[in-house]
Amino acid sequence: MKRNKKDSVKELAQEIDVLDHMLSALVETLEEKGILTQEEWEKKIRAKIDTAVKTTQSFREVAS
């Protein structure tokens, strides 16, 4: 059972790595084309995280 859990964690980590590479390539392409700057990208990420945190907190308050 431990082996299966380790394999699942390793597989998930590999999938996350692939998604990270895909996202990085997309952002680099957008930067190269002058569509998006690194600063704009980081600002969008921060805004999305802030929204997700607020939403998660409000869902948890409702569930309590």
pLDDT tens column, 1-13? 667 888 899 999 9
Give the model confidence (pLDDT) of 18-41 as tens digits.
999 999 999 999 999 999 999 999
Of 52, 53, 16, 47, nearest in space to 39 by CA: 47
CA atoms of 1 and 7, how far apart (whole Å)? 10
CA atoms of 34 and 47, how far apart (whole Å)? 21
pLDDT class for 16, splitting at 50, 70, 90?
very high
**What is the structure's pLDDT at 48?**
93
**What is the structure's pLDDT at 56?**
75
Domain boundaries, the chain: 1-33, 37-64
